[in-house]
């Protein structure tokens, strides 16, 4: 590993490191946000189904 290569990598990191932590600017940023929204919708759907079934089964609970 040549010291000049390490210096070049360090400069590249320092020039673009802040952008790595901004939402939607990295590789696949828009795709990632769309996937997150899709997964949140699915979580909400499954939570509603679970709650519905949970309340429905309480009628049959022999307690």
DSSP codes of every residue in 5-61:
HHHHHHHHHHHHTGGGGSTT-STTHHHHHHHHHHHHHHHHHHHHHHHHHHHHHHTT-
Question: Residue 24: its pLDDT value, please?
Answer: 56
Its domain, for residue 55, covers 30-63
22 located within any domain: no
42 located within any domain: yes
Regarding predicted confidence, which is higher, 15 or 19?
15
* Number of alpha carbons in the 13 Å side-chain half-sphere of residue 60: 4
3 located within any domain: no
36 located within any domain: yes
Query: Could you give the CA distance from residue 17 to residue 14 in angstroms, rounded to a whole number?
Result: 5
Structural domains counted in the chain? 1
pLDDT of 32 strictly over 70: yes
Q: What is the pLDDT of residues 40-59, one digit of tens each?
A: 999 999 999 999 998 887 77
10 located within any domain: no
């Amino acid at each position: 590993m040549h010291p000049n290569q390490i210096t070049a990598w360090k400069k590249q990191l320092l020039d673009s490191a802040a952008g790595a932590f901004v939402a939607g600017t990295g590789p696949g940023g828009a795709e990632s946000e769309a996937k997150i929204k899709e997964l949140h919708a699915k979580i909400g759907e499954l939570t509603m189904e679970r709650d519905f079934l949970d309340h429905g089964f309480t009628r049959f609970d022999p307690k």
